[in-house]
Amino acid sequence: MSGILRIAFKLLVNDKAKFTALLVGNAFAVFLMVQMTSIFSGVLARSAATVTNVGAKIWVMDPAVNTVANTIPLPDYVLDAVRSINGVKYAVPLYSGGALVKLRSGNYQSVSVIGLDDASLFGRPDLYEGRIEDIYAENAFIIVHDEEFPKFENPTIGSEFELNDHRGIIVGIAKATTSGLFGIPTLYTTFTRSVEYIPSLRYTISYILVEPKTGAAISSIENEVRRIGYTALTDEEFIGKISQFYIFKTGLGMNIMIMTVISFIVGLSISSQTFYSFILENLEKFAALKAIGAKGQELIYMILFQTTLTCLTGYGLGIGLSTSLIAIAKYRLPDYASKITYWNLGVALIMVVIIGAISSVIGIRKVLRIEPFDIFRS
């Protein structure tokens, strides 16, 4: 068997043009598939940035909420009702909304404002600079140092701005686990200041953040919240709901799927056509092997070895090219939303295996039909 595979390897690599074309076809298909799916993963991760950064275990919201940015204010009595549920350790309000600020240069910049509970500051970020206690100072705000930070003109401690005719002062610079999706800076302040500075509707609570006493209490809390007409979701469930919205209720999921399928078809067509051409050019060699006693099973092993080698090598090259370009793009374009996950790599691998399987079937059918005496025909 090792001799047969050695012959298969030499047949493959000696035809440098066909071997290169097979590698390029598979690598290009993998590159496109990984690029498309990684962009999708990056968008989904950023769409739930607030949920990830705040870190609450349970989020209470209006049932009509689809994304964390699509807030529907809750009545104040809902907060009291949630606090009275058995199994709730504590529950605090959270404000989440958008605003337009005027910077010292005179430029205007859209921002996302997160208002933390005044008493507990639950969901507060970790700080690079400043002290979290300074958030209680007059006009105090904390800005997140992420990819959008330069849009706020790279503020420092003490930088001032104007929000709805109110003076704002940066008292802290915070870390961010995940950057936001919509390309705007994020400010943290107290709940009271956020609803005071930003015009709002009759109700001001965007979400209620709940800490359960035990993990077993989560289910009963969700049921009790549902009984009063609202929805309670764990952070993972909320992230899942946001992902479902972007996948099925926007054009994003369909567009990414179409591009991924096109990438698969391109790779399949290039690989299959090139491998079929390779088989035709080496048909006499396969017939000669048959004539000297090679069995059909051994020829099948040869073709499977050749397609496996080209597909896996092309897969590795495609992954390497994709990750390199994503790293360069993120370095040059901080807003570039792309994230490679095991899911991206798995999808690309499955697609490559399918491409290899189809190419193998095409080659095997042709080789098994050849008869040894065909090489003696003139």
Residue 6's domain comprises 2-46+251-376
For 76, other C-beta atoms within 10 Å of its C-beta total 12
Q: Verify that 210 and 148 share a domain, yes or no.
A: yes
Calculate helix-pair angle for 296-332, 342-369, nearest 10 degrees.
Answer: 150
Tokens encoding 282: 């080496």
Same domain, 88 and 216: yes
Residue 80 lies in a domain: yes
Query: Are 93 and 16 found together in one domain?
Result: no
290 shares its domain with 187? no
Q: Distance (Å, rounded) from C-alpha 189 to C-alpha 201?
A: 19
Concatenating the DSSP letter of every residue in 302-319 gives HHHHHHHHHHHHHHHHHH
Which of these three, 194, 229, 264, is where a domain ends? 229
Does residue 58 lie within any of the structural domains?
no
Domain assignment of residue 346, yes or no: yes
At 170, phi and psi to the nearest 5? -80, 120
Report yes or no on 69 lying in a domain: no
Same domain, 6 and 80: no
Q: Which of 229, 264, 296 lies at the terminal end of a domain, its last residue?
A: 229
Q: Are residues 222 and 304 in the same domain?
A: no
Same domain, 123 and 210: yes
What tens digit of pLDDT does each residue of 319-352 get?
999 999 888 888 877 677 788 888 888 888 888 8
Please report where in the chains the tokens 């943290």 appear, as a residue.
Answer: 188
In a domain, 65, yes or no: no
The answer on 164 and 273 residing in a single domain is no
Neighbours of 1 (CB within 10 A): 10
Q: How many residues does the chain have?
A: 378
Nearby residues of 246 by Cβ (< 8 Å), 6 or more positions away: 43, 44, 47, 67, 252, 253
- CA-to-CA separations, 298 to 24, 320, 373, in angstroms, rounded: 27, 33, 19
The answer to whether position 162 is within a domain reads yes
The pLDDT value recorded for residue 194 is 94
Whether 191 and 261 share a structural domain: no
> How far, in Å, CA of 125 to CA of 188, rounded?
8
Domain assignment of residue 185, yes or no:
yes
243 vs 104: CA distance, rounded Å? 37
Predicted structure pTM score = 0.78
Are 223 and 95 in the same domain? Answer: yes
DSSP helix/strand/coil, 119: coil
Vertex 29: Cα angle to 306 and 315 (nearest 5): 50
The per-residue pLDDT string of the chain (378 residues; one tens digit each, 9 = 90 and over) reads 577 788 888 888 887 888 888 888 888 888 888 888 888 888 888 888 888 888 899 999 999 998 888 889 999 999 999 999 999 999 999 999 989 999 988 999 999 999 999 999 999 999 989 999 999 999 999 999 988 888 999 999 999 999 988 999 999 999 877 777 677 899 999 999 999 999 878 899 999 999 999 989 999 999 999 999 999 999 999 999 988 888 888 777 778 778 878 877 877 787 777 777 877 777 777 777 777 777 878 888 888 888 888 888 989 999 999 999 888 888 877 677 788 888 888 888 888 888 888 888 888 887 777 776 666 554
Helices (H), the chain: 2-14, 16-47, 49-54, 76-83, 191-197, 218-227, 235-248, 251-281, 283-291, 296-332, 342-369
Give yes or no: residues 101 and 166 share one domain: yes
Tell me what pLDDT residue 375 has: 61
- How many domains does the chain contain in total? 2
Say if 360 falls within a structural domain. yes
Q: Are 261 and 359 found together in one domain?
A: yes
CA dihedral 329, 332, 338, 339 (to 10 degrees): 90
